[in-house]
């Protein structure tokens, strides 16, 4: 079965085609936050190069966050539209889980970190036995200063677009270059695992996970708070 997976949680956007959980083709574009202009053309290009039609797709997947608010909305709305139009299932996967999934071949603790600005990161903790990645903590928004990777006893691997920042603070951690970018393929692999277990999800189950109040809402709440004081 073919799965089409999309990622638009960070500056780099990508689309991947998987057949029975095996990656067959993937397109990655890093052109700033222009996913509204590049995501669908990437899908069309990917399907054309792989000689796969949209009717061949058995399920869809995408990252649901945390990450760029605008990017997440674009990716999720695209997958929702494709799933609704074809009547096929669709799966939402944590961007941090996808990032950690890239390092499933290592043994030790995996700490994905995506830049959340304001000297904060979106992060979580996973353990890998060299074959399977297991989540240990939920996705969180934390100040970089709150992390303490020196306290971890085993080998520590960091990944994601904020990995270099963590490497600066904790030089002993491993920081594989290939795992600094988020890709769509892991979302497709994880979706295939769920599908194989008989789990069926639809566009109604697909929602963004922000972990932070949007800037406009934050400004509104501050304004209300200040007005209450007057």
Residue pair 103/229 in contact (Cβ under 8 Å)? The answer is: no
On average, the pLDDT of the chain sits at 91
Report the run of H or E that residue 93 belongs to, with start and end: strand 90-93
Is the pLDDT at 202 greater than 90, yes or no? yes
* Residues with Cβ within 8 Å of residue 55, at least 6 apart in sequence: 86
pLDDT band, very low/low/confident/very high, at 224 (cuts 50, 70, 90): very low
| H helices present in 142-182, as ranges | 163-169
pLDDT band, very low/low/confident/very high, at 208 (cuts 50, 70, 90): very high
Q: Is the pTM of this model over 0.85?
A: yes
Is the pLDDT at 226 greater than 70, yes or no? no
Residue pair 71/10 in contact (Cβ under 8 Å)? The answer is: yes
pLDDT in tens, 76-130: 999 999 999 999 999 999 999 999 999 999 999 999 999 999 999 999 999 999 9
First to last CA, the chain: 61
Task: Name all domains of the chain by residue range, CATH numbers in brackets.
Answer: 2-94+182-219 (3.30.420.40), 96-180 (3.30.420.40)
Give CA–CA dist 109/118, Å, rounded. Answer: 25
pLDDT band, very low/low/confident/very high, at 32 (cuts 50, 70, 90): low
């Amino acid at each position: 079965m073919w799965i089409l997976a999309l990622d638009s949680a960070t500056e780099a956007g990508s689309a991947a085609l998987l057949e029975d959980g095996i990656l067959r083709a993937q397109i990655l574009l890093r052109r700033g936050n222009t996913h509204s202009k590049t995501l669908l053309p990437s899908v069309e290009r990917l399907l054309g190069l792989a000689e796969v039609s949209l009717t061949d797709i058995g399920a869809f997947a995408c990252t649901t966050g945390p990450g760029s608010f605008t990017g997440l909305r674009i990716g999720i709305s695209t997958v929702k539209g494709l799933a609704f139009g074809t009547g096929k299932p669709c799966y939402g996967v944590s961007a941090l889980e996808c990032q950690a999934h890239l390092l499933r071949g290592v043994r030790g603790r995996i700490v994905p970190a995506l830049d959340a600005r304001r000297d904060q990161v979106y992060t979580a903790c996973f353990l890998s036995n060299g074959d399977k990645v297991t989540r240990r903590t939920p996705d969180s928004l934390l100040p970089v200063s709150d992390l303490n990777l020196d306290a971890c006893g085993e080998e520590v691997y960091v990944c994601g677009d904020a990995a270099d920042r963590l490497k600066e603070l904790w030089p002993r951690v491993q920081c594989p270059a290939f795992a600094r970018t988020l890709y769509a393929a892991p979302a497709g692999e994880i979706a295939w695992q769920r599908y194989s277990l008989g789990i069926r999800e639809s566009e109604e189950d697909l929602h963004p996970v922000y972990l932070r109040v949007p800037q406009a809402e934050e400004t509104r709440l501050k304004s209300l708070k200040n007005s209450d004081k007057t």
